[in-house]
Structures are given as C-alpha cells and as structure tokens.
Amino acid sequence: MNYFANPYQGYGSPYGYPSAAPQGAAGALQAFGGQVTRVNGRNGADAFRMAPNSSILLMDENDPIVWLKQTDGAGYATVTPYTVTPYQAAAPVDVAGLENRVKRLEGMLSGKPDDADAPGKRKQKAE
C-alpha cells in the first residue's frame, strides 16, 4: 500500500482512517479564537449567518444587550436578548451598627423607653 497516496492522510489517524469528527465541515468543532462578536441591534443579530445546530452570543454595539442566537437542525434562527449591567460590589456590612440597632429594637420590644436619642432630645428641650 502506498502510504503517500492515502486519501485519509492528515486526518489525525495514524492508520489511514478518518477521525470521528468531520474536519472542515459545517458541523466541525472550531477552536475558540477569544474574540467578541459585535452587532448593531436586533437587525445585526438577525443578519448574522450561522450553520444549523449552532449557537452564539452577540454583543450589541449600541445598548447593554447580549443576543443569544440559536439555530435548529433546519437552520431556522431564534434570537433572544439579555440585558447586561456592570458589576458593582455590595457595600460592606457594618456589624457594630447592626448590633446597636438590634439591641435598641430588643429594648423597645421589651417595653423599655428608647434612650438612644436621649442626648439629642435633651438638646432640643434646652433650646
């Protein structure tokens, strides 16, 4: 057998048989290039061409929206918008202030007068 005349050479199999996944076909796995695909609104997302049975996230250029475009086996597309907002870290919790508020609330529920603002009330009465 002439090894160099093998039509399956270069398909990744040392025995000359084609691999399980099609190479270069429409359904083949593609390497992730690390790129963000940007479109202009709904019309741009609708116009983006895709192979059947695939999906992609498309970043909108104008609005904080990400479009999820999916195609079925016949190539019919469904486009779903998702809003995107910048992440904001939650404010740190002031544990000491929280403890004071709970103690004051417990005092109010037990029937004791609320003396937390007593110095402020005395100043108002003195004026």
Query: How many Å apart are CA 52 and CA 77, to the nearest integer?
Result: 9
Per-residue DSSP letters for 31-72? -------EESHHHHHHH----SS-EEEEEESSSSEEEEEEE-
pLDDT in tens, 27-62: 555 556 678 899 999 999 999 999 999 999 999 999
Percent of the chain with pLDDT over 70: 61
∠ CA 28-31-35, nearest 5°, is: 125
pLDDT at residue 18 in the model: 47
Average pLDDT, stretch 101-119?
76
Pairing state between β 65-71 and 55-60: antiparallel
Q: pLDDT grade, residue 96 (50/70/90)?
A: confident
Pairing state between β 38-39 and 55-60: parallel
Query: How many Å apart are CA 110 and CA 92, to the nearest integer?
Result: 30
Query: How many Å apart are CA 9 and CA 4, to the nearest integer?
Result: 8
pLDDT at residue 17 in the model: 47
pLDDT at residue 7 in the model: 52
> Rounded to two decimals, what is the model's pTM?
0.47
Phi first, then psi, for residue 93 (nearest 5°) are -85, 130
Does 20 score more than 90 pLDDT?
no
Distances (CA, A) of 64 to 25, 59, 82, 89, 93: 34, 8, 9, 19, 30
